[in-house]
Every structure is written in structure tokens, then in C-alpha cells.
Structure 1
Amino acid sequence: MTTEACDMTRTSSPPHCVVDEDYYWDLVKFSAEDHIFRVPKHRFMSDSETFATTYGLDHAHGSEDEFTAEDPFLNAVSLDVTAHELRTFLKAIYPKQLQGELMLTANEWLAVLKLSTKWLFNGFREMAIEKLSPLTGMDSIEKVRIGKEFCVEPWLLSGYRELVNRDASITVDEAGKLGWKSAFRLCGLREDWKIPGRRDRVAKAIPANLDIEIEMRFQDKFGAIREAQCLYMTVDDKAEVERKRQAEEKEARDVAEREEREEKLDAEREAERRRIELAAEEERQRVDELAKELDERRQLLQTLSDAKPVPVPESANEHIPEWLTRVVDGTTRSPLRSRQEEEEAEDKESPPHSAGVI
């Protein structure tokens, strides 16, 4: 092999490289109206699973360098928003400045709020709500509108409260923006709240609280917002909910275990109490039986001690033989003694034979 061939072999082999896990970003191309945007994909993947799934960002969209004059929208993800809204949203998620607070106008923050609510970028939604609150300089009708549109309960409540408290009546134009049904409710609430004695009897039983009155009149509006809040939970919110859920489950388990232990102890105490009562009852019965037996013996002894000797009549002594009297006195023996007894007595009285005498 020639030197030239060896050089060609070396140059044809690709150089060894390692793709960095953190800073080799995939790019994605978006189209909005007649504008094309190309940005790193990772924020759209990590900050909203809904967006990534809806627009298929987990699938390839062509080469990041792919751009042709014949079809500039090739492999671009088409978004149904305006170019201005998307550009403003990209300012928030990919800010150009590295230091300091992100500075956007109120209208720009509203655009961020709109798209983050639409695409469930809940972290940026929370940021936009925080930046826009307390909606300084915004009129009551606009507060009600954006409160309902973007499901922000404090803004909706604030708008309704201002409309009830203000001196000016609700105009026809404002009623059209609010919706005629909502406008009628507000007019009735204004009269009930401002004219003495107009509150109904049920409401009078509750201390006056305008916010509560508003929520009662617009239960459907506030109920819908509260039901939707689970969609807008941030990662931290979900972690907090999970932490509370685990804590509640642990507390429930602890309570159940504690109740089980207490029930077991109560059962053991009850069994011990019954055993003691049974033993005490048996002991009482035994004592009663012993007391009864003792009383019977005492009565028997008392009966015996109280008994008198039977007197012997004088005439009975006349029929007792004299020899029996002497036997009793020990002065003579009874003629009834057996022959064997007499022989035994004679043996005792006769002297022993001397040794060697037959």
C-alpha cells in the first residue's frame, strides 16, 4: 500500500467524539403565521408534557440545519398562535439577558399567561400571574374577563367586588362584555348590598361578607375555576400534594395501627377483667360454702353441748346382778370370761420352770 493510500485511509475515518449530555441541544422549528422560529427543544420537552405530546416533539422533525428556499416551512411545527405571542413567550422561556429580572410589559405578560395556560407551561403561568398581580390600572371588566379566561380566581373575585362597590351603574356595553346573565346577577347583588333591608332572610343570618355573597351568586363560575386548578399545578405543587398525600396516608396508617393496638389492649383488659370477676365469683362461692359448713358444725356443736344426760330410774338398779356391780367396780371377774382368758391368766400366775428341769 502506498503512502498516498494510507493518508486517504486515515482521512476517511471519522474522528472520535463524545456528545455532551447537557450541552448538545436538539433544535426544533416552529411556524406561527408567516414566521419561522428555531429554538432548543429541551424547554418544550421538560416544562410541559402536554405540549410535547400534542405536537409530537418526542419524534424527529428533520435536521436542525435543514432549510431550503423552496420550502422554508419544511418540518416546522405549526402553532395556532400569532407570531407576536410566540415571540413574547420565547422571551420568557429563553431570555437573552443572563442577569437581572425579566422585564416584560403587562401586555407581554398577558401573552405569556395566555400561551402558558393554553399549553400547560404551569411554571411560567404561575410566574405571569405573579408579575401581573394585583392588576394595577386594569379596569373591573377586564379583570373579570381575564380571570374567567385564564382561570385566576382572585382576579375574577376582585373584578366582581369592584363592580358591586362602585357608585356608577353597570352600562349596557359592560353588560354585553360580562354576559347578560352575569350582569343581571351583579345588578341584583348591588341592590341587595347597597340598599338597607334588601338582603334575604337566609343571607341576613350570615354576617355581611361581600366576597361570600359574590361566590354564592356566581357558584358556577368559581366552581369551574376550582375544578380546573388541578391542570395548572406546577412541579412543586405536585410534589407538595404528593408529600401531603403520603403524610395523610402515613397518619391514617398510624391512626389505624394505634386504634388496632388500643382495641387489642381493650380486649386484653376486658378478658383479664372477666377472668378476675370469674375468679372472685368462684372464691365467693367457696367462702359461702365454707361459711355454710362452718355454721352447720357450729349448730351441731351447740346442739350437742345443750343436750342433757338421760336419768336412770332407781328401780332399774334393783335388777342389776351383784356380780355385774363387782365387775364394774373391778373387785371380781365376770363369769362370762372365756376359757382362753383363764388359761392365759394361769400361765401368768404360775412360776417359770428352772433351767434343766424337764
Structure 2
Amino acid sequence: MVHRNGEYFFQYIIFQVEDQLFRVPKHMFVNHSPIFRTTFELPVAEGAIPDGSSEEQPFVLDGVKVADFIPLLECLYPLKFRTTFSFTLEEWTSIFKLATIYDMEAIRNLAIKSMQPQLANHPSLKVHLAKHYDVKDWLVPGLVKLVQRKRPLDEDDVQLIGLTDALKVAALREDCRRSLDARTWLVKPRGEVLMDFTPSIQARFNL
């Protein structure tokens, strides 16, 4: 008698994100997310059609954008064989955010590791992600970079880190530049300050 293999006979789930439907094997969401696993295990009333079982009854992911969901699917279900991922910073950010929301620990850790070098020149985004998605190791280094760099804070920086923190960073930048007026050997020609402001930042931000 022919029977279903216990590991390689997949159930599928149909998600609706914004105005698009996605049909994927359910097991990756079950294995990587306790949130989805618990949700999928909830009993269904007799005669009811489970969400995600058909195009007419999809599992709706409210508040999720297609532009963020597709990179997560590409990470979970690569359409081509690969040994490494080559996502952009924007794509990794989408993966990281959704992995955090859905408690996908392994995917979140992969995103953190992969984003680390890409965030070197994006300190405001690094601070924003550290604050809103609980990556403690990113907060102080991101703030240090904002104080050290030549370019002043702009509207994008303020939007990402918030006005209160932006004012603190601006004050530290002003303090350090006043204190370095007589010590120009500590400043690169382009104006980036080389001093480590970790203690000052920890004190100013109560970290």
C-alpha cells in the first residue's frame, strides 16, 4: 500500500499579504515560529474552514507589507539552490523585522549576523533597529558613529533615532568638537573624530 512519507509530504498554507496571495509549505513557519505553530494548532470549529486552506479563505497577515514578506519567503524558500544569501540591507531589514515579530529566532540571528557589516555606514538605522527590535549590542556603537562622523545629523537621522536622542547626539558632537579645537591631530582631514565616546554616550543616555 502506498502511503505518505512522514517528512517529505508537505501541507501548504495560503497567506494573504495586502492584495496578494502566497502559497507555501507550512512546515517552515511551524518549525521556525512558535507563534505560527501555536496558531496553526488551535482547534477549528466543526464544519468551519481553516484560515489558509484555500484562496477563498486565506490566512491574512494584517499589517505586513508585500515588500517585507517576499524577502522573508526568499530566505525560507529559496527558488534557486544557494549556499549563502546575498540580500541587500533593505531586504535583510525586512527579514529581521518580521523574524523578530514572529519570534523566528534562527532567522533573526542570521539577519543580525548578515546585517552587521552592511550597517557600518548606516548608524542611524543601526540605532533605530537596536532600540525598536532589542539588539543591545548595536545601540552604543551606532551612537558612537553618529558622534564621530563628519556629516551632521539630518532629517532622516532624526526620524530614525527620534528627536530626544538626536538632541543628545548633537550636544555630544558639539562638546567633542569644542574640546578638540586645540588637538587637531585627533581629527581626520575629512573631519571624522577618532576618539571613543562610549563612556560619554553611556553617561548621557543612562546606558
**1:51-130 mapped onto 2 (5 Å cutoff):** 51-53=36-38, 56-59=39-42, 67=54, 72-74=55-57, 76-80=58-62, 81-130=64-113
- Extract unaligned runs of 5+ from structure 1: 1-15, 198-207, 223-358
Name which structure has the greater RCO, CA cutoff 8 Å, separation 6+: 2
The one-letter code of the counterpart of 1:87 is I
SS of residue matched to 2:179: coil
- The answer for the alignment partner of 1:153 in structure 2 is 136
Alignment partner of 1:214 is 2:201 = yes
Separation of aligned partners in 1, 2:167 and 2:204: 11
Alignment partner of 1:41 is 2:23 = no
Corresponding residue pairs, total: 188
The one-letter code of the counterpart of 1:83 is V
The structure with the larger Rg is: 1
TM-score (norm: length of structure 1): 0.46
SS of residue matched to 2:143: helix
Separation of aligned partners in 1, 2:196 and 2:120: 25
Give the direction of change, closer, same or farther, for the CA distance of 1:99–1:209 in structure 2 (3 Å limit). Answer: closer
Tell me the CA shift for residue 157 of structure 1. Answer: 2.2
Higher helix residue share: 1
The one-letter code of the counterpart of 2:60 is S
Separation of aligned partners in 2, 1:87 and 1:169: 35
Alignment partner of 1:23 is 2:5 = no
TM-score (norm: length of structure 2): 0.76
Separation of aligned partners in 2, 1:17 and 1:89: 35
Alignment partner of 1:32 is 2:17 = yes
Tell me the CA shift for residue 39 of structure 1. Answer: 1.2
**1:290-301 mapped onto 2 (5 Å cutoff):** none
Backbone CA RMSD of aligned residues = 3.0
SS of residue matched to 2:173: helix
Tell me the CA shift for residue 168 of structure 1. Answer: 4.2
Separation of aligned partners in 2, 1:131 and 1:180: 29
SS of residue matched to 2:117: coil
SS of residue matched to 2:13: strand
Separation of aligned partners in 2, 1:209 and 1:138: 17
Alignment partner of 1:188 is 2:171 = yes
- Extract unaligned runs of 5+ from structure 2: 181-194
Give the direction of change, closer, same or farther, for the CA distance of 1:108–1:180 in structure 2 (3 Å limit). Answer: closer
**1:1-358 mapped onto 2 (5 Å cutoff):** 16-53=1-38, 56-59=39-42, 67=54, 72-74=55-57, 76-80=58-62, 81-136=64-119, 138-171=121-154, 174-175=157-158, 177-196=160-179, 210-219=197-206
